[in-house]
Amino acid sequence: MGKNQFSKMTERRGGTGVFLIVLLVVIFIAVGLVPWWIKKNTPDPDKTEWLTPWREWSIRESSKKPAVALNESQPKIKDVLRFETYINDAETNEDRGQVRFLITPDGQVSGVWSGNYYKGKQVNCEVTGARYEGSVYPGKIYKDEKGEDRSKLYFLTKGIYMYHEANFDTSGYKIRKGEIYVRGWIRPDLTVEGDVTLTQTQGDNTFEKYGWKEARPTNKISSF
């Protein structure tokens, strides 16, 4: 092998090594910038209004916003609070089962949805499983047509559900399942108002939304 040929091969190897080093540096910088870019372009979940619960949950996961301390007017949870309340369809006022949940002094929320109810007179629904968990978010401020109310404490939870739907008119039978979101506002007197949203993982991308106006703490719930 001639000296000139050996020099050319060495130069090519040296050039390849420099290229790999530059490529690794570019990849390292890109990997470092992606989380920064995502965080910079993710809206503040406490200040973004009219979000669907699934969108809000996604934003909270992306933003990784640090916990915010309670303000002076928000309720302080000193003991485990237990709630049990029926939920209804806002349009028909029909029963949609019952939610039971706990709120702990450290702000964690967990619960279940259960029930056997009818949609109209012909469709029977039996909930066979639904659990959810989440936490309180003191930074979110309650707003309505009257203005702001900084005394209410917000919470948001997420889980999965499944219920069996039987249509006695058509003899049809379906298994409905997807994600369940339960969210609410804790008032200074420790009563809670809230809603339940069910998303579908099959078929059309529809969702069901139910709610309750007031739930008071109870000692009847021992476990789920």
What does 55-72 look like in DSSP terms, one character per residue? HHHHHHHHH-PPP-PPPT
Share of the chain above pLDDT 90, in %: 62
Q: What pLDDT is attached to residue 44?
A: 87
Higher per-residue confidence, 68 vs 13: 68
Rounded CA-CA distance 190/74 in Å is 10
Question: Does residue 4 sit within a domain?
Answer: no
Question: Does residue 206 sit within a domain?
Answer: yes
Q: Mean of the per-residue pLDDT values for the chain?
A: 85
Q: Which of 21-30, 58-67, 195-204 has the highest mean pLDDT?
A: 58-67
Average pLDDT over residues 171-185: 94
In the predicted structure, residue 203 carries a pLDDT above the cut 60: no
Question: Does residue 169 sit within a domain?
Answer: yes
The answer to which of 58-72, 76-90, 101-115 has the lowest mean pLDDT is: 58-72
Range of 161's domain? 53-215
- Structural domains counted in the chain: 1
Question: Does residue 194 sit within a domain?
Answer: yes
Share of the chain above pLDDT 70, in %: 77
DSSP 223: -
Q: What pLDDT is attached to residue 212?
A: 96
pLDDT band at 111 (very low <50, low <70, confident <90, very high): very high
Per residue in 23-63, pLDDT tens?
A: 666 565 555 544 544 454 558 888 877 789 999 999 999 88
In the predicted structure, residue 189 carries a pLDDT above the cut 80: yes
Q: What pLDDT is attached to residue 222?
A: 54
Higher per-residue confidence, 198 vs 7: 198
Rounded CA-CA distance 26/36 in Å is 16
Q: Which amino acid is at 146?
A: K
Q: What pLDDT is attached to residue 29?
A: 59
Higher per-residue confidence, 109 vs 64: 109
Q: What pLDDT is attached to residue 49?
A: 75
Q: Is the dihedral of CA 92, 98, 104, 105 positive or negative?
A: positive
Q: Using alpha carbons, select from 147, 142, 131, 130 the residue that is nearest to residue 192.
A: 142
85: domain CATH number?
A: 2.40.160
Question: Does residue 113 sit within a domain?
Answer: yes
In the predicted structure, residue 142 carries a pLDDT above the cut 90: yes
Average pLDDT over residues 80-93: 94
Please tell me whether residue 98 adopts helix, strand or coil conformation: strand
